[in-house]
Chains A and B, each alone.
Chain A
């Protein structure tokens, strides 16, 4: 009964957030700045959720920019050469990223923690060099290539429609993740994450599931990358930069690892904070504040901001008692 009520509340919250996300650009008169912030935010929600999906299987990555960038390049190239709409080519981008993910995953599947972190980080570096130097005939090298826009700018309100379509994709991705994680696969993931040996003993093939997780994560990271470059209209090898690898990690950690809502909330809170601090003129302190938040969250709120209300509820009586003791009556 309790669970039921909780689920209903969550559903209500999700719908409310969605309605808010849907109405916000209309309420602000389709202001291009808000749309820009929102579009980038939703794209990074997809990206951070894809990164987070990988952690369900007990793996991690410091080089997700590799998939983000590959998705972008493949989608841009396919769209340019074939003339197909980017709404189709982003799936080519995702598929290309997934294949790369399968390859990297196959190398990494037996590695743990730090090894995995370094190898994935290294792949992002190697792929940047490959794209910028070895394949410059097709990728345009450091000059980069133009990417067709999602919706032609001659269409009235094109930014609004781009935003809505990206929002729909994000919701679909999150629902898909939820479905996978609630299925048998999700159970297998958590078994592997908790104890790989026991999972094996229970007849779960960890290699298969880990590769699957890597592919799915890479696919949607690539999809997010493709969406971003079609939105921006241009792609250069800078897309493989370390900051692109780090952002989804920062968003997921601060929001809450291993929860679907974590990356969503983390992305929203951190990007708003980031732009808000910027408009307050805190240029360098902004990075320091984000760094401090990250450290504090890891130490004091290991389950991220999603657990904040619960923590407050848990500790509030104590605080109240503390306050009451000091208020003279």
Chain B
């Protein structure tokens, strides 16, 4: 199929937008992994809860849904910290696959609690800026997407500054690099665990709000696909590497859209795993991964 430049650019823009949700999820997963060396497979269910929290507050208050980030992020942070305390801390240091098993349990719990609270009908809300578009060259880009891309970028910069400039961020990074040494210099690593899990969950909550705002429909079971892809991104980018997560997220967003354009939509989910497998065969630690243990 012949691809004109304008279509090419258009597909890149769709990819960028789709990449934002993935990046927020993947960054959170990566932060958690860096500090705790565990993987939360139920991360997509946190996104789903974030979406429903936004929905509920929108229905109750009628606020601009972007403002509701101020609700979904804190609530998800609290939820994340509770999950860390109740489920993941007890299994720290036990068998390597245990967190996957815990996550499977969490997936069942979160999805069905959501179904009991909000029913499993598809839900959708409308952004107030829905109809506004910005013309860039030959493209019309909805202003919502621009806000979403900017929100994601700002969140990432804020996270970067927090990790690089603040004392607490330094402690998080220290724990991430060497847990034992961090403990020796007096860092309370368990607090770092809670903090990183909280931030990770908060980012998933933000992704949930952005998901809702962009006019996507959602139900309790919608979280698993984005999460599994986010995890594929984490591995493609390299476990523990946040730049890797960002580049991996953009790469996957764009690759998926080109797959739809060329091979067909049936391959959209499979392509993430094809890339994953190819990357791992060529470079077993991922694109930006540190040396394997």
A and B touch in the complex (CB under 8 A): yes
Q: Which residues of A are in contact with B by a Cβ distance under 8 Å?
A: 55, 60, 62, 107, 110-115, 117-119, 121-123, 125-126, 128-129, 132-133, 242, 246, 249-250, 253, 257, 284-285, 287-288, 290-295, 298-299, 302
Most A Cβ at <10 Å: residue of B90, B101, B112: B101
Known: A114-B235, A249-B104, A292-B105. A122 touches B277 (CB 8 A): yes
Nearest first, the 5 A-B pairs at minimum CB distance are A122-B273, A291-B108, A294-B105, A291-B109, A287-B112
Assuming the contacts A294-B108, A295-B106, asked whether A118 and B94 have C-beta atoms less than 8 A apart, the reply is no
How far apart are A218's CB and chain B's nearest CB, in angstroms?
17
Residues of A within 8 A of B113 (CB): 288
Residues of A within 8 A of B143 (CB): none
Query: Which of A115, A117, A118, A132 has the most B CB atoms < 10 Å from its CB?
Result: A118
- Interface 9-residue window, one of B19-27, B156-164, B224-232: B224-232
Residue positions of B touching A, CB distance < 8 A: 39, 87, 90-91, 94-98, 100-102, 104-109, 111-113, 115-116, 224, 228, 231-232, 235, 239, 264, 266-267, 269-270, 272-274, 276-277, 280-281, 284, 292-293
CA distance A246 to B249 in the complex (A): 26
Q: Are the C-beta atoms of A302 and B98 separated by less than 8 Å?
A: yes
**Given the complex, which residues of B lie within 8 Å of A287, measured CB to CB?**
108-109, 111-112
Which of B102, B111, B239, B293 is A298 in contact with, Cβ under 8 Å? B102
A contacts with B: majority SS: helix
Beta-carbon contact of A122 and B276 below 8 Å? yes
Contact of B87 among A129, A246, A285, A299 (CB under 8 A): A299
CA distance A246 to B116 in the complex (A): 22
Known interface pairs A284-B116, A302-B94, A302-B95. Does A291 touch B224 (Cβ–Cβ under 8 Å)? no
Q: List 21 A-B contacts (CB under 8 A).
A: A111-B280, A114-B235, A114-B239, A115-B280, A117-B97, A118-B228, A118-B273, A119-B273, A119-B276, A119-B280, A125-B273, A126-B273, A126-B274, A129-B267, A250-B104, A257-B95, A287-B109, A294-B102, A294-B105, A295-B106, A299-B102
Nearest Cβ on chain A to B9's Cβ, whole angstroms: 28
A132 near B108 with CB under 8 A, answer: no
